[in-house]
Amino acid sequence: MATSREKQLTLLAAVLGTSVVFLDATVTSVALPAIRGDLGGGLAGQQWVTNAYLLALGSLLLIGGSLGDVLGQKRVFLVGVAGFGLTSALCAVASSIPELCVFRSMQGVCAALVTPTALAVIVHVFPEDERARAIGTWTALSSIVGVIGPFIGGVLIAAGSWRLIFVLNAPLVVVTVTLIARGVPASASAGTAGRLDFAGALLAAVALSGSVFAVTEEPARGWSTIVVGSLAVGILGAIAFIAREARARAPMLPLSLFRERNFMIGNLATLTTYLGLGGVIFLLPVFLQQVSSYSPIQAGLALLPVTSLMIMLSRRFGALADRIGSRLLISLGALVAGCGLLLLVRVDQRADYVSGLLPALLVFGFGLAMLVAPLTATVLGAVEEDHAGVAAAVNTTLSRVAQLFAVAVLGAVVSLAFANRVDATLRRAAIDAAGRAAITRAKRQPLGAASLGGVRPGERILLRATFDDASVHAFRVADAIAAIFVVSGGLIALAGVRNPRRMVAAELCPAGALCGASQELVNTGQPRIQDRGFVDRAVETPSRQVAR
């Protein structure tokens, strides 16, 4: 039995460990324009700075949880946090986009260790009657990082350099490592879990990296040999992954889970919805800084209404879903969030915040708060108790994979829409060689201030206006597609979700897969809700089932 001091230190370590990872992800999105200005790389480079991290995280998240079961949650948590600090230092001294992407992928590997084990240590230390409150505290405090993260990033970038956002992790990592080493008890279950599905993890990484590389690089390279080959490797990797998981004794992703209707439909809705959410979260800060001339601080504060509404309303909508059912709230939430994104289509180059951005973001945040908790609870309630942990891990992983593909797909959409708009506008214009070279450079770096050096003054005015117009057009097209994804997720839920076989309280997963709160929710020991004929009995999922 852990002492009161150990419980307090464990909770603080879990909050800080998750916050380090979450803070890094939020501030990096704000720093992308500054990184581009310093290291170059264009939109494709910005995509890979984000995707390199998400690719490693999404591919290894399940394995990270399983390592905790085999080697001990405390040990893996400690290694993950320390490794994240070290790789953050490497990111801070990167001298090129490829080098930064390599270090970002190493960060993703460490984050895959931290994300599941940060909450697993809470489960091991807190008894059942205290666990739900501890997880609720973790969720609330971790969500605050989502509010202050972009602002902190903007301040650091404005005050010095984008490199400071990675240096910021150092003191937090030192404090967290100290807390873990001195305050977190070792887990009793270390070494009791089964074998790890390393082959499945490798094939998943191959499938994702091949596909994402092809989608990300196609706008710049066209259907070249390397793009086609990469796509083929991704498809073959996906086929091999499915075949492997169907035969493996301890699969990373048990395919039998997808026979459950709500698990299948809920995860499909998650995948579709997060395709929209991830794309907008990536594109909006880039657009505001590179097209609308927002400062890093202003761009960082732009999404404040969304995260604030999530914190204030998610638990309330979760409680409402527990009373009336999740299906309606998921559908309405996705519809409202999609409408908020469609309102962003009105944004022009000036991007006035009060009249343009704020109303759209308020509607978007309201819908997101309505959507996330009921959707997570539906997925968790779709399977039997002995598979609840892996169901939560799969849902969290799919949300990360969706964000990964969102950045790649919507980035490709932006590049294509930008190029088509420029060609259509300048089809009849007489452009000299210097102007044509500027057009080629601009197409390689959409949503940015293209270099117009050497262009005649008259053509310079025309090209600048054309590039600005094409950037706004490209953002609107991508935003509209993101809205369609989000609304489609709601329609999928409306058509397919049914009452779950067991009830998981939506009120207890306010942040859902956004920050991984669902990962250990199934182990809170809370009684199910006695509603619609379900029997009220306690959840007794062993902690070692998590993220298997």
Pick the most confident of 415-424, 427-436, 453-462.
415-424
Pick the most confident of 140-144, 293-297, 313-317, 522-526.
293-297
Is 260-411+479-548 CATH 1.25.40.420? no
Question: Which own/partner contact pairs does 279-282 have at CB distance under 8 Å and 24+ positions apart?
Answer: 279/406, 279/407, 279/409, 279/410, 279/478, 279/481, 279/482, 279/485, 280/341, 280/344, 280/479, 280/482, 281/29, 281/403, 282/29, 282/47, 282/50, 282/403, 282/406, 282/407, 282/410, 282/411
> 3-state DSSP: the chain helix, strand, coil percent, rounded to 5?
80, 0, 20
**Distance (Å) of CA 483 to CA 116, 275, 520:** 30, 9, 30
Structure tokens at 46: 């910005």
Is 70 exceeded by the pLDDT of residue 515? no
Is 90 exceeded by the pLDDT of residue 474? yes
Is 80 exceeded by the pLDDT of residue 489? yes
Is 70 exceeded by the pLDDT of residue 23? yes
Pick from 314-318, 456-460, 500-504: least confident: 500-504
Confidence of residue 512 (pLDDT cuts 50, 70, 90): low
349: closest CA among 449, 455, 460, 457? 449
Pick from 88-97, 174-183, 241-250, 526-535: least confident: 526-535
Question: Is the fold of 1-190 the same as that of 260-411+479-548?
Answer: yes
502 neighbors 381 (Cβ within 8 angstroms): yes
Structure tokens at 439: 């057009």
142: closest CA among 24, 28, 29, 18? 18
Give the start-to-end residue ranges of the domains of the chain. Answer: 1-190, 198-249, 260-411+479-548, 421-468
Report the percentage of the chain scoring pLDDT > 90. 24
Q: Which helix (H) or strand (E) segment is 229 a member of?
A: helix 225-247
If you ran DSSP here, which 8-state letter would residue 512 be given? G
Is 90 exceeded by the pLDDT of residue 363? yes
CA end-to-end span of the chain, whole Å? 25
Pick from 35-44, 233-242, 362-371: least confident: 35-44
- Mean pLDDT of all residues in 226-255: 87
The half-sphere exposure of 65 on its side-chain side, counting CA atoms within 13 A, is 28
Mean per-residue pLDDT over the chain, rounded:
80
- Mean pLDDT of all residues in 319-331: 84
What per-residue confidence (pLDDT) applies to 398?
81
Q: Which residue is associated with the tokens 């070792």?
A: 186
Number of H helices, E strands in the chain: 17, 0
The half-sphere exposure of 15 on its side-chain side, counting CA atoms within 13 A, is 18
State the Cα–Cα distance between residues 10 and 187, nearest whole angstrom: 12
The half-sphere exposure of 387 on its side-chain side, counting CA atoms within 13 A, is 22
Is 50 exceeded by the pLDDT of residue 304? yes
CA 253 to chain centre: 19
- Mean pLDDT of all residues in 434-454: 80
**Distance (Å) of CA 388 to CA 494, 507, 520, 524:** 23, 17, 9, 12
DSSP 325-392: -HHHHHHHHHHHHHHHHHHGGG--SS--IIIIIHHHHHHHHHHHHHHHHHHHHHHHTTS-GGGHHHHH
CA angle 345, 349, 353 (to 5 degrees): 70
State the Cα–Cα distance between residues 279 and 215, nearest whole angstrom: 14
Is 90 exceeded by the pLDDT of residue 78? yes
List of residues 6+ apart from 452 with CB closer than 8 A = 438, 460, 463, 464
Confidence of residue 136 (pLDDT cuts 50, 70, 90): low
What per-residue confidence (pLDDT) applies to 256?
82
Is 80 exceeded by the pLDDT of residue 383? no
Q: Provide the 10 A C-beta neighbour count for residue 525.
A: 17
State the Cα–Cα distance between residues 467 and 455, nearest whole angstrom: 14
State the Cα–Cα distance between residues 375 and 372, nearest whole angstrom: 5
Pick from 64-78, 165-179, 530-544: least confident: 530-544
Structure tokens at 370: 């309505």
Q: Which residue is associated with the tokens 């609304």?
A: 487
What per-residue confidence (pLDDT) applies to 146?
61
DSSP 157-208: HHHT-TTHHHHTHHHHHHHHHHHHHHHSPPPTTTT-S----HHHHHHHHHHH
If you ran DSSP here, which 8-state letter would residue 351 be given? -
111 neighbors 57 (Cβ within 8 angstroms): yes
At 74, is the secondary structure helix, strand, or coil?
A: helix
Is 90 exceeded by the pLDDT of residue 492? yes
List of residues 6+ apart from 343 with CB closer than 8 A = 359, 360, 363, 364
| Phi, psi (degrees; rounded to nearest 5) at 188 | -80, -10
Give me the residues paired with residue 527 across strands.
538
- Mean pLDDT of all residues in 283-298: 87
Is 50 exceeded by the pLDDT of residue 519? no
Is 90 exceeded by the pLDDT of residue 307? no
- Mean pLDDT of all residues in 120-129: 75
Structure tokens at 104: 């970002």
pTM over 0.85: no
Confidence of residue 209 (pLDDT cuts 50, 70, 90): confident
| Phi, psi (degrees; rounded to nearest 5) at 189 | -95, 5
State the Cα–Cα distance between residues 426 and 297, nearest whole angstrom: 35
Is 90 exceeded by the pLDDT of residue 457? no
Considering the four listed CATH numbers 3.30.300.20, 1.10.10.10, 1.20.1250.20, 3.40.630.30, the one that applies to the domain covering 1-190 is 1.20.1250.20
What per-residue confidence (pLDDT) applies to 472?
93
Is 50 exceeded by the pLDDT of residue 534? no
Give me the residues paired with residue 538 across strands.
527
What per-residue confidence (pLDDT) applies to 484?
95
Q: Which residue is associated with the tokens 């270090």?
A: 103
* Tally of residues, the chain: 548
14 neighbors 78 (Cβ within 8 angstroms): no
Higher pLDDT, 250 or 133: 250
What per-residue confidence (pLDDT) applies to 527?
37
Angle between helix 97-125 and 73-92 (nearest 10): 160
Pick from 263-267, 456-460, 462-466: least confident: 456-460
